[in-house]
Amino acid sequence: MPENNRAPVGVDPFRPNPARVYNYMLGGKDNYDADRDYGDRMLEVAPDTKITAWHSRRFLLQAVREAAEAGIRQFVDIGAGIPISPNVHEVAQEVEPSAIVASIDFDPVVYAHSNALLTGAPGVTPILADIREPDKVLELSREEAGIDFSQPVAFLIVGVLHFVMDDEKPYEAVARLREVMAPGSRLVIQHASISTHPFFKNTSTVQAVNSPSLPEFREPERVLEFFEGLEMLPPGLLPANEWLDARLPATRLVVLCGVGRKN
């Protein structure tokens, strides 16, 4: 991992933070002025960004429901964010009450919120870990959440990989996760697309330099590489609005969504 690893340390209210900006976009209250200022700049160049955030959230929960309906009862949610209802474990447990969730994030603020908000919720374990250290993610998922990788699992990596720069080895990290997936497992990814409106790309990049919110917008072919060796489930890799419903309008921030299955 590079020396300046851009991981949030404690509570830094002065730099925009992806979990809190996303919480702001979803209408949550767990954010600071720096997050709201950054979010408002994004909304100036792309007023429909709150809609994109909700599309992404719907994609995540629909993918969880479909995985649970297919018999998966273990979920490793990496970059889980500040809990917002309905949460991953609620949707999974509606289908399969014994479902368990490792709710992972590298942000101590998220970890604190998860501990406070999810305490007492059966089957969900907040974990502090970084996707750039996949072996640690796997180890803690096993040890703390009781995930058994000899059984099918769904890795949820929604709105996270575009915060991992190429030199931080996102492809190697996801390859390591694919390696341990038992047959029947799923990989659920949402990733910001290069076809996002240029104003959004420029503003979000300039405003986030040196912060954990710095995004990398990738081409669809590069996002597909995360699914190498997996079968893409219908409807394939598509912008969130199209993945959900072809009649939903496009948004300026384009996030690509897809689900792959290990056969």
Ligand X SMILES: C[S@@+](CC[C@H](N)C(=O)[O-])C[C@H]1O[C@@H](n2cnc3c(N)ncnc32)[C@H](O)[C@@H]1O
Binding site for ligand X (CB under 6 A): 18-19, 22, 56-57, 60, 78-81, 105-107, 110, 130-132, 158-160, 163-164
The least CB distance from residue 256 to ligand X, in Å, is 13
Residue with Cβ nearer ligand X (105 or 242)? 105
User: Which residue number, 19 or 72, has a Cβ lying nearer to ligand X?
Assistant: 19
CB 41, min distance to ligand X, A = 16
231 Cβ neighbours under 8 A, 6+ residues apart? 260, 261, 262, 263
Contact 212, 5 (CB under 8 A): no
Residue 47 DSSP code: T
Least distance to ligand X, CB of residue 138, Å: 13
CB 72 to ligand X: min, Å:
17
Q: Cβ closer to ligand X: 185 or 213?
A: 213
Q: Which is nearer to ligand X, 35 or 107 (CB)?
A: 107
DSSP string, 89-158: HHHHHHH-TT-EEEEEES-HHHHHHHHHHHTT-TTEEEEE--TTSHHHHHHHHHHHH---TTS--EEEEE
